Each structure stands twice: as structure tokens, then as C-alpha cells.
Amino acid sequence: MNPDHLYLHSKSGTKLQVLFINRNAKYTMIFSHGNAEDIYLVQSWLQSYFLKHVNVNAVVYEYTGFGEANGNIPKEQSLYDDIETVYLYLTEIINIPADQIILFGRSIGSGPSCFLAEKYHVAGVMLHAPLMSALRVVFSNLRWTLWFDKFPNIDRIKNFDCPVYIVHGQRDEIVHISHGHRLWENTVNKGFEPYFVELAGHNNIEKYAKDYLQRVRKFIEHIDEWVEEKNRIQTTESLDNDRPSIMQMDDQIDLRVPLYQPPEIEKANNNQE
């Protein structure tokens, strides 16, 4: 389960470090890590814990300004450019279908994940200890998003229709549990219940959520059903659009020419002759 080490040219012009663990699974997860992590910590977490029980391909990217990435101070737009670069690589270069890509955003990683889910089609989004927006981490009662706020997930989550799974610790001391509740309230697709974990803080959810991985697997099963139903509906609509309408059929038939002559009239004509 050794990852491929890739360096992509980000939209912002920087060199983007990416780890790709390809297990030939149906779904590929893009992991956007928390502020206190880097891709090697996430790689260790994936290989020792997550991927032992969840069958997905995993893609982890390093934010510009973190780890071995170029740059000094990470900027909001740089994180958006980074995840978009990864997504376009997966969908346009190695041809992974958009409906086989799942986003995983932890803490600040919920920002680029929500940005991408609003802009592009994905199969689903899992948000682990997410934030409503950067300012609301300090001022949680803000009623509107101010123009200079960053990572306005609370507004973006309204604009994507894919399944969403929110996991949040009830004793989170960094990003208050109200962030998870408010994001869930604004979620459009409420087909999968959130998980608000008792006793858990910001960085130890897995410790208290003994069924953490089981719920992730159930979420992927839910995504599978949603994608299948969505594709079925799209196929049905496409077939309906391909059928000729009555007006189109009228254009192809000359209604002035009778399709047949009634038998009684034919008999009357024969008698006249």
C-alpha cells in the first residue's frame, strides 16, 4: 500500500505535493487535512487506521506553504487552487469519473472541500470537525458572512446536492459543536444522519467514536445508492428526450393522404363500376 508521490503544477503556479494510494477501489477520496497536520501524518493515519477498514483509493495533497510545498504563508485562494488542481488531475488526466470522487475535509480542510463541492460534481462530502467560516470560529453568533471572512462553508453547503456526512465532537474546544449543527441545518441532501460524538473534542473523535469507520462504510454505501438512482433518473430523462413528440411525428406524416380506405367505401366503388 505504498503511495505514488506526485508533484503537480497548481493553478496558482506553485509545485503541489500529492500522495496517491491506488487500491483499485471504486471510489477515490480526496483528503484535505487539518491545520496542525501534514500529508505524512495523514498518510500514517490512513495506512494504520482508515484504509484497513474502508476500501477506497486515497489522495492526500499538501497545502501550499505547508510541508514540502512551495510558498511561505498559506492563503485561502491557494488552498482552493490546490484542491482544484488535484480534482482536475483525477478527472481529466487519469479519467476518474466525478461520481466516483468523495471529498474528506478535516477542520480547516472543510474549506477547500466545500469550495470544490460547490463548483464541481462529486459523489459525496464527509466533513470532520468542520467550521462554518473562519470568523465564526471566534464569533459563532454571526448572522451573516462578512465580505472579508474566509472559508464560508455555511453558505456554500447550500449549493451542492450530493450526500453530506458531518462528524463533530460535542466537546470540541477549538471549533464549537454549533458549527456542525448549523452546517447540518443548511445541508440540502439530508439523506445521511450526522454524527455528534459524545465526550469527543476536536482532535480525538476517533477515540470516542468506536463505530467511526463503520459509519464511514455506511456513508459510502449510501453514496453508492444515491449515485445509482441519480444515474437511473438521468438515463430515463435522456430516453424520454430522444422519443419523437406528436408534433415531430406530424411533420413526418402527410396527413392529407389517408392511411387506408374503409372497406364499405371500397365495396360501394366496386358496385358503381
> Which positions are annotated as active-site residues?
107, 172, 202
Backbone angles phi, psi at 220, to 5 degrees: -65, -40
Report the C-alpha gap between 148 and 56 in whole angstroms: 37
Give counts: helices (H), strands (E), the chain. Answer: 9, 8
In single-letter form, the type of residue at position 64 comes to T
Q: C-alpha cell of 104?
A: 474528506
Report the C-alpha gap between 207 and 35 in whole angstroms: 19
Q: C-alpha cell of 51?
A: 484504509
Strands 15-21, 4-9: pairing kind: antiparallel
Report the C-alpha gap between 20 and 96 in whole angstroms: 13
Are 106 and 138 within 8 A, CB to CB?
Answer: no
Q: Which residues contact 22 (CB under 8 A, 6 or more apart)?
A: 4, 57
Are 130 and 153 within 8 A, CB to CB?
Answer: yes
Q: C-alpha cell of 29?
A: 477520496
Backbone angles phi, psi at 128, to 5 degrees: -105, 115
Q: C-alpha cell of 265?
A: 367505401
Q: Which residues contact 177 (CB under 8 A, 6 or more apart)?
A: 168, 169, 170, 171, 196
How far are the Cα atoms of 215, 217, 253 from residue 52, in angstroms, in the given order? 14, 12, 64
